């Protein structure tokens, strides 16, 4: 293989799963001139794809004739054998992803295969692929067309020239790729995020504060500062001696739970799954979910100066 894997600008790109993540990732590639094929088995998702992609493209101020740029098929077996890049954005179910990657590796024997799993190791998702040198992780953040960062995860067997080429490709799409050098569950962002969510739920479970208070504090403290300064720079900024003495005092009080907290398990047991069922840890009255999505998009656009 050449020094660095490259994808020609008008090359075909396949996206497996045109749901929340897949449709936006497909739209990003389509807007940059790639010929995109989406593999989507669900009738409704296929029917609504054009409108959903159009919305993404209009938010990017790049209204490409999507219908011409994107083909939709129902099954991996319909992909062109010589597709050089396949991005997997199917549901977060390990067995489903493993079988899908095996199928795609057989259908497209030379394709680089990137999984968008949120937490699974690349080596787990690619377990049924014979040649795992062409499998890596590209963890996009939601909404992919607004969030600049993409974690590029190098599996134990990923070819480093493919990883390097993917980083170059994502940068050429205007993204901010970050190289994750070890194949660890949750990569960087989701390890940070779920360490905080564990602590958030522990605060509620231990009766330290009401559920609402956790989010009020997070949004009005860390949330305001984090896009200006990350935890490592912040530790240096306040002083590592101070940071160390805080850690010595506070670490013994932090949650080290090794399984989901009871407050979460209890809600799930009772079918309280959050926005999609009308209640979770909070109450989700009609319209709140849509309002939340709008709020996130608008805030991101302000922060990214897209307005």
Ligand X SMILES: NC(=O)c1ccc[n+]([C@@H]2O[C@H](COP(=O)([O-])OP(=O)(O)OC[C@H]3O[C@@H](n4cnc5c(N)ncnc54)[C@H](O)[C@@H]3O)[C@@H](O)[C@H]2O)c1
Is 111 an interacting residue with respect to ligand X (CB under 6 A)? no
For ligand X, the binding residue among 58, 77, 110, 142 (CB under 6 A) is 142
> What tokens appear for 214 in the block?
């956790």
Going by C-alpha positions, the residue among 73, 31, 75 that lies closest to residue 53 is 31
Q: In the set 33, 92, 219, 239, which binds ligand X (CB under 6 A)?
A: 92
Rank residues 18 and 111 by Cβ distance to ligand X and give the closer one: 18
91 binds ligand X (CB under 6 A): yes
Query: Is residue 291 part of the contact set for ligand X (CB under 6 A)?
Result: no
**Cis peptide bond upstream of 44, omega within 30:** no
Rounded distance between C-alpha atoms, residue 132 and residue 123, angstroms: 8
Smallest gap from residue 120 Cβ to ligand X (A): 8
Instruction: Judge residue 34's burial from the number of C-beta atoms within 10 Å of its C-beta, 0-12 exposed, 13-18 middle, 19 or more buried.
Output: buried
Rounded distance between C-alpha atoms, residue 268 and residue 201, angstroms: 14
Rounded Cα distance between 144 and 138, Å, is: 11
Residue of 12, 22, 137, 155 interacting with ligand X (CB under 6 A) = 22
Would you call 75 helix, strand, or coil by DSSP? coil
Q: Does 236 bind ligand X (CB under 6 A)?
A: no
Spatial contact of 112 and 2, defined as CB atoms under 8 Å apart: no
| DSSP secondary structure of 144-165 | TTT--EEEEE--TT--HHHHHH
- Which residue is listed with tokens 């490259």? 6
Residue 26 or 200: the one with the smaller Cβ distance to ligand X is 26
CB of 76 to ligand X, least distance (A): 7
Interface with ligand X (CB under 6 A), residue from 118, 138, 154, 158: 118
Binding window for ligand X (CB under 6 A); candidates: 89-97, 199-207, 218-226, 262-270: 89-97
Closer residue to ligand X in complex, CB, 37/117 = 117
Whose CA is closest to 83, among 48, 124, 111? 111
Task: Verify binding: residue 150, ligand X, rule CB under 6 A.
Answer: no
DSSP string for residues in 164-195: HHHHHHHHHTT-EEEEE-S--TTTTHHHHHHH
Binding mask of the shown chain, residues 27 to 56, with x at each position contacting ligand X by CB under 6 A? ------------xxxx--x-----------
> In angstroms, what is the minimal distance from the CB of 240 to ligand X?
32
Asked if 177 interacts with ligand X (CB under 6 A), we say no
Residues that bind ligand X (CB under 6 A): 16-22, 39-42, 45, 89-92, 100, 116-118, 140-142
């Amino acid at each position: 293989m050449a020094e660095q894997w490259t994808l020609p600008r008008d090359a075909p790109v396949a996206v497996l799963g045109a749901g929340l993540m897949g449709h936006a990732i497909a739209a990003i590639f389509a807007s940059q001139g790639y010929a995109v094929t989406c593999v989507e088995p669900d009738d409704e998702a296929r029917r609504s794809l054009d409108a959903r992609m159009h919305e993404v493209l209009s938010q990017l101020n790049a209204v490409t004739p999507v219908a011409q740029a994107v083909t939709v098929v129902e099954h991996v077996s319909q992909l062109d054998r010589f597709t050089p890049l396949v991005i997997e954005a199917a549901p977060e179910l390990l067995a489903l992803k493993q079988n899908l990657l095996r199928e795609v590796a057989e259908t497209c024997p030379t394709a680089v295969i990137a999984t968008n799993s949120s937490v699974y190791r690349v080596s787990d998702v690619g377990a049924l692929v014979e040649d795992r040198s062409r499998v890596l992780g590209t963890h996009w953040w939601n909404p992919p067309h607004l969030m600049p960062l993409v974690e590029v995860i190098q599996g134990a067997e990923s070819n480093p020239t493919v990883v390097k080429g993917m980083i170059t490709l994502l940068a050429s799409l205007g993204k901010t790729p970050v190289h994750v050098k070890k194949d660890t569950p949750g990569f960087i962002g989701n390890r940070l995020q779920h360490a905080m969510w564990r602590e958030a739920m522990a605060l509620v479970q231990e009766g330290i504060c009401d559920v609402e208070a956790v989010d009020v504090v997070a949004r009005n403290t860390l949330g305001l500062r984090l896009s200006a300064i990350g935890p490592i720079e912040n530790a240096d900024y306040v002083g590592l001696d101070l940071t160390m003495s805080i850690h010595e005092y506070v670490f013994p009080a932090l949650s080290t739970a090794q399984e989901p907290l009871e407050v979460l398990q209890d809600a799930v047991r009772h079918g309280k799954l959050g926005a999609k069922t009308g209640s979770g840890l909070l109450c989700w009255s009609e319209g709140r979910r849509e309002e939340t999505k709008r709020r996130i998009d608008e805030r991101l656009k302000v922060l990214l100066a897209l307005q």
